[in-house]
Structure 1
Amino acid sequence: MRLARCLAALAATSGLLTAACSAPSNGPAAPSADAFVIGLGSEFDTLSPVMGYAPDGGSLIYEGLMSREADLSLTPAVAAAPPTVSDDGETVTFTLREGLKFHDGTPLTSADVEYTYEAVLDGANASPIRGDFAAIERVDAPDPSTVVFRLRHPYAPLVQRTTLGIVPEGAPLTGDRPVGSGPYRFVSRTPGDKIVLEANRDYRSGPPALDRLVLAFAEDDNVRATRMSAGEFDATILPPRAAARFEGQRGLTVHKVPSADYRGIMFPLDHPVTGDRAVRRALGLAVDRQAMVDTILAGAGTPAFGPVSPDTSWHNPEVTGAPAGDPEAARRLLQDGGWLPGGDGVRVKDGVRAAFTLMYPAGDSLRKELALAVASDAKAVGLDVRLAGLDWDAIEPRMREDALIMGYGSPYDPDYVNYELFHSSYARQGFFNPGGYESREVDELLETGRRSGDPAERRRAYLRFQKIVHDDAVWTHLVFLKHVYVIRGDHQGVRPGVEAHEHALGGLFRDIHTWRPAA
C-alpha cells in the first residue's frame, strides 16, 4: 500500500504470527542508541510536495506557509502571520518570516513559494494534488517577502491548503534529494526499506532533541508488531488488537488517537450486481458495524454511515443507521428489488447471481478482518461476497469491476477528499471516484461548497451532499478508526489530536521535533 494513495493502515487483527504473540521474557529491548526508529506501514510514493508528499503538513523535511496544531488550528510557519484576505475573498496575501533558509543554506523567499504552487498548477507536471488548488488562478511574488494568491473565486479552505511544503525555486520534482526548511534534513533513502533524516541544527524554533530519525517501512502488521517487540522500532503504528499486547509493558506507551479516518466498501457502479442500488443499500443494512468495532477494532473506533465524521461540526445527523444492522430489512429490500432466493442460498435476478468480489490489500489485517465480517453478514441475506487479498498494483486495475475495502477521511474541511471521491469529473481516475459515481446534484453541491464564501451556504451544501450519497449507497461505510501508536520511552511533547486518514507523519509524529525525553 502506498502512502500517497491511502496511507498506513491502522488495522485490527484476528491473530498475530506465532513470533509476534509472545513478548520477550525480559521485557522490551532498548532503543537504538544513535537514532529514533519509526515503523511505518507503507512507503512514500514521492518525497516531493509538488507531487503529493504530505500536503497537509507533518512531513518534517518541509514547512508550508502555515502549519497545523494538534487541535487542528493553523499557525504561521514559513509565513510570519496569518494572511490578509480581500473583501471579495479572491485575493489572499501572506508575508514571509525574515531570515528563513533551506537546508542547503539558500534563503527561502516568495519566489520559492510562487514556484512551488505554480508547479502544482502546471498541468504538464501531472501533480496528483492539482485539483486541490484549482481555485488558484496564479501566485505572485511582488517582493521577496510577499506572496499573493489570486483566486478564480472565493475558496474557504485555501488557508487550510497552505500547509503544502515549500521547495526551492527550480527544484526537480522527483524528490530524490529533497531540500526543505523543516526541522529535519534528508540524509538517505533505501527504496523498500527506510529513509534517514537528521536534525536541522538551524531550524527556526531550535534543533529537535531527537537528533536522528529512521523511517522504516514494514507493510505487514504482524511484522511491525514483531519488530517493535524485538526492540528494532522505537515507535510504530499498529492494529488495536496487535497493540494491546504492549499495554502495561514497562517503558512503552500505547496511544489511541481519535480520527476522521474511515473504512468502507467502494462499489463499481457498472457491475451487474453492485450497480444495483438495492443490493448496495441491502448490504449497508446487513452489516453489523457495532460488532466490527467491538471485536475487530477492540473498541478503538465507532460505526460509520457516511464520509464525514460525527466528531466534526460538518456531520449530518440524518446520515445514520442501526449500528448492529437490520438483516430482515435487508432481505425485504432485496426481495422488493427482484433479487429472489436461489437454490444455493444466493439470490438471483434475471439470471444473474447476487455475487461479487470484494478486494482488500493483503498485508492489511484490519481490512481483511472487515472483509471477512462483511462476507459473513452478506451471506446471511443471500449475497455471495468473494474475497480477494491482493497487493495494490493488482488491485488498481480491477477497481472498475470489483469492490474494494478502502480508507479515506479528513477532519479539516469537507472539501477535502469528498470532492475527488464523489465529483463526476474524477470518475474512474485511479483511486479517486474509482466506482464511477455521477450525480449532477452532487456535483453542484460540491462546487457550491468549494466556491462559496458564505459559511451557512457551505454548511447547507455539505449536509445535503451527505444525505444524497448515503441514500444512493455509493459506498457502504463501516467504521471510523482510532489510530493506535506504540512508543518506547517517556517523552514530553506528545500531543494527540483528531487525525486524518493520511496520518503517518501528519498524525502523532507531526510534532516529533518538539519531543523531549522526560526527566
Structure 2
Amino acid sequence: MSIDRTRRRILHAGAAGIAGFSLPFAFGTRAFAADGGVLTVAIPSNPQTLDPLNQPNHDVMAINQLIFENLVGVDTRGQRVPQLARAWAISPDKLTYTFDLQRGVTFQNGQPLTSADVKYSFDYVLNPANKAFRRPFWTVIDSVSAPDPATVVIRLKRPYRPLLDYMSKYMGIFPAGSREQHPADFFRQAPVGVGTGPGIFVQSRANDFVELRRNPNYWGKGLPHWERVVFRIIPEESSRLASLMATQTQIISAPPAQLFPQIRHSPGIVGDSRPSPTSPLMMCVNTRKAPFDDLAFRRAVSLVMDRAKISRDLCYGAVKASSMPFAADSPWFDTASAARADFNLDAARAALKASKYASGASFDLLYVQPAYLIDTSSTALFVQAQLASLGVKVNLRPLDFGQMISQAMVGNHQAVLTGFIAPPEPTYLLNALFRPTESLWKATGYTNAAFVQLIDDSYAADDSASLKSVLVKLQRIIARDCPAIWIGALEVQDLWRSEVRNFEVNTGFSLALGQVALSAA
C-alpha cells in the first residue's frame, strides 16, 4: 500500500470518528467527556501490572510514574532531577549516597512520607523471596538506613554509576508495611493510595482503559493541571492516529512513522520527535542455537544489513542507522568499530563462505505485530530479501509484543527483530543482554567474561573520557563477535492536539504527563 493511500485511509477513519464528536466516548459503565478536565491519551500496550517493581513495559510506565515516585527522576531530555529527594550527596569513594527528602510529602492515603518508607521499599525489592522483576538493578546495594525521618543513606558494595538513573524507572516508594497489609494482586491491579504521585488510581478494564484522578494533596505545588487522565489501550497505530484526529484522544504515542511528517502539520495537531540514543532497533540472535552459534555467520548477517536503506526507506527517519548500540551522533559511538560491522555485501559473502553454514542455512525471525514502538514488518521483509541474496532462508513469524518478549526471555527463538527502550545510560541494554544473571541474557546467550568485566569497569568511571574509553573497548568486542545485530537508534515520535499545553516528547519513550494542561476549546 502506498503512503498516499495509507494516509487517505487514516484520514477517512479520523473523519468518520468526528461524526460523533459532541458525544462522550464510553468504557464499560463509565463515560468520559472530552472536556478541559479530562486528559485522554492512547498507548499501544495493555498493562500486565501497575507495580513499578515488576513493570516490563515502557508504555505502561507512563501510568506507574503518575502513581509512584522515586528519590530521583529523569526529565524528558534525560537529565537527572530531584523528586522525593530534594538533594543528594555522593561520597568520594562512590559507595555512600545520602538523600535529603522533600518536606511535606504525603502518600495518597494521607500518611506522611518518611525515610522509613524509603528503607522499607528498597528492603522489599532487595529481598529475593519477593521475586521482584527489577531486583537485579539494586543488588549492588549493601544496606539502606534511615538515620532520621528526612534522611536516607544507601551504601553500595561497589561503585555503581547508573544508580540514580535507574531510580527514575525501575523503582517506586510506597508506605512501610503496605505490601503485607494488602492482598497479592493489590499493587498489580489497583494500587489505590500507596503512591505519592499526582495521579490516584480509580479503575481499569483490560484491553480498554486505565483511569486516574487528580491527587488533591500532591506535594508538587499547583500540579497536576488535569482532574482526570484516561489511558486508552489502542494497539493498532492507525487506530491511535484516527482517535487523535477524531478528538477522542488528545495525545498518542508511536504514530505511523511514514505519516508522521505530514500529520504533525495538520490543522489542530502538533507533533515532535526526540532521539533516544541508547534505544535500538535490533536483532537479538540466539548464539546458543544454529545458525547463530557460528561467529562468521553472525558477522555475515550484520554485514548484509543495509541500515541506511532501512532507516531512510522503511523506517522513514524514525530510526537513525547505526551498527553499534549507540546513535552515530552519540558521544559514546565508536566510528572504527561501526565500520567493521556495517553494510558490506562482498564482506558478507566472504563471511558466510567462511562459516560452517556456507552451503545454506535457515532460521525463524520473530517480529512484533501489532507494531510496538515502530512498525518492523517492512524491515522484516527486507531482512528476509537481503539474506535470500546470500542463500539464507528467513521464515518470518509475527507475534504480539508480549508473546515475542516471553519467547526471547526463555531463549525459545533463533532471532528476534524488535525495538528496546533504554534509559539515557550507555550500559543498560548491554548489561541486560550479555550478563548471564540478567533477565534478557537468554535472548542472546552470549558469554564473555571480559565483556562483563568491562561493564563493571564502566560503573566505576568517574568522568566522560574514562567512560568513553571503556565503551570503545566494548564496541570493539561487539564488532568482532556480533553477539547481536544493531540496526539503528530509535527516535521518539508523539502527536497531540493543539489544546494540549506543557507536553514534551520524552527521550525515555514513556509519556510524561505530570505537567500537562488543557486549554479551553
Band of TM-score, shorter chain: 0.7 to 0.9
Are residues 1:230 and 2:246 paired?
A: yes
- Listed as ranges, the matches of 1:62-461 within 5 Å are 62-81=68-87, 83-163=88-168, 164-172=171-179, 174=185, 175=187, 176-178=189-191, 179-204=194-219, 205-237=221-253, 238-244=255-261, 246-260=263-277, 261-321=279-339, 325-337=343-355, 339-340=357-358, 348=359, 353-364=360-371, 366-392=375-401, 394-395=403-404, 396-397=406-407, 399-426=411-438, 429=439, 431-451=440-460, 453=462, 456-461=465-470
**For each residue in 1:456-499, what CA deviation from the matched residue of structure 2 results, as whole angstroms up to 9, or x when unmatched?**
544322221122123211111112221221101233322345x1
| Alpha-carbon distance in 2 for matches of 1:355, 1:26 | 45
2:512 pairs, out of 488, 510, 513, with 510
Percentage of identical aligned residues: 25
Q: Measure how far apart 1:187 and its partner are.
A: 1.1
Report the Cα distance in structure 1 between the residues aligned to 2:3 and 2:437, rounded to whole angstroms: 37
* Alpha carbons 2:7, 2:259 under 8 Å: kept: no
Higher helix proportion, which one? Answer: 2
CA distance in 1, matches of 2:340, 2:481: 17
Give SS of 1:255's match.
strand
Shift of 1:240: 1.0
Please give the per-residue CA displacement for 1:119-149, whole angstroms capped at 9, x wherever unaligned: 1111111111111112111111121111000
Query: 1:226, CA displacement in angstroms?
Result: 3.0
Q: What secondary structure, in the 3-state scheme, does the structure 2 residue paired with 1:293 have?
A: helix
Structure 1 letter corresponding to 2:368: P
Q: CA deviation at 1:433?
A: 4.2
- In structure 2, what is the Cα distance between the partners aligned to 1:160 and 1:13? 39
Match of 1:38 among 36, 41, 62: 41
SS at structure 2 position matched to 1:486: strand
Is residue 65 of structure 2 the alignment partner of residue 49 of structure 1?
A: no
Q: What corresponds to 1:59 in structure 2?
A: 65
Which residue type is aligned with residue 406 of structure 1? T
The answer to whether the 8 Å contact 1:225/1:243 transfers is no
How far apart, in 2, do the equivalents of 1:202 and 1:226 lie?
36
Q: Contact 1:155–1:452 at 8 Å: present in 2 too?
A: no
Q: Secondary structure at the match of 2:428?
A: coil
CA contact (8 A) 1:210 1:515 kept: yes
Find the counterpart in structure 1 of residue 25 from structure 2.
none
Gap change, CA 1:293 and 1:181, over 3 Å in 2: same
Deviation at 1:393, TM superposition (A): 5.2
| Unmatched segments (≥5 aa) in structure 1 | 1-11, 341-347
Post-superposition offset of 1:86: 1.9
Instruction: Give the drift of 1:24.
Output: 4.6
Rounded to whole Å, the distance in 2 between the matches of 1:318 and 1:444 is: 22
Structure-2 residue corresponding to 1:344:
none
Structure 2, unaligned runs of 5 or more: 23-32
The alignment partner of 1:124 has SS state of helix
Change (3 A) 1:17 1:432: farther
Q: Give the Cα separation in 1 of the matches to 2:213 and 2:154.
A: 33
CA contact (8 A) 2:280 2:490 kept: yes
Deviation at 1:111, TM superposition (A): 0.9
C-alpha distance after superposition, 1:304-360 (max 9, x if no partner): 2121233433322323239983222211221233544xxxxxxx2xxxx31111001
Tell me the secondary structure at the aligned position of residue 65 of structure 2.
coil
Name the CA distance, whole Å, in 2 between partners of 1:323 and 1:451. 28
1:265 is displaced (CA, Å) by 0.7
Kindly state the Cα deviation for residue 27 of structure 1 after the two structures are TM-superposed.
9.5
What secondary structure is seen at the aligned counterpart in 2 of 1:369? helix
Distance in 2 of aligned mates of 1:469 and 1:424: 16
C-alpha contact 1:280 1:473 (8 A) present in aligned 2: yes
Instruction: State the match for 1:22 in structure 2.
Output: 12
Indicate conservation of the 8 Å contact 1:491/1:518, yes or no: no
Opposite residue 512 of structure 2, the aligned amino acid is: R
Larger deviation, residues 59-68 vs 319-328: 319-328
Confirm or deny: 8 A CA contact 2:264 2:272 kept in the other structure: no
Letter in 2 for 1:209: H
CA distance in 1, matches of 2:463, 2:247: 52
- State the AA in 2 paired with 1:362: Q
Note if contact 1:49-1:167 (Cα within 8 Å) is conserved in structure 2. Answer: no
CA contact (8 A) 2:166 2:423 kept: no
**Structure 1: distance between partners of 2:227 and 2:143:** 39
Give the deviation of 1:271 after TM superposition. Answer: 1.9
Q: Which whole-Å deviations, capped at 9, do the CAs of 1:426-483 have from their partners, x for residues lacking one?
A: 3xx4x44422110111011112223455665443222211221232111111122212
Moved more, 173-182 or 442-451: 173-182
Q: CA deviation at 1:201?
A: 2.1
CA RMSD of aligned residues (A): 2.9
Whether the aligned pair in 2 keeps the contact of 1:50 and 1:116 (CA below 8 Å) is no
CA contact (8 A) 2:311 2:321 kept: yes
Give CA deviations for 1:362-396 in whole Å, capped at 9, x if unaligned.
21261222111111111112211110012345433
Say if 1:13 and 1:296, in contact at 8 Å, map to a contact too: no
Distance 1:14 1:123 in 2: 54
Over 3 Å counting, the alpha-carbon distance change for 1:336 and 1:402 in structure 2 is closer
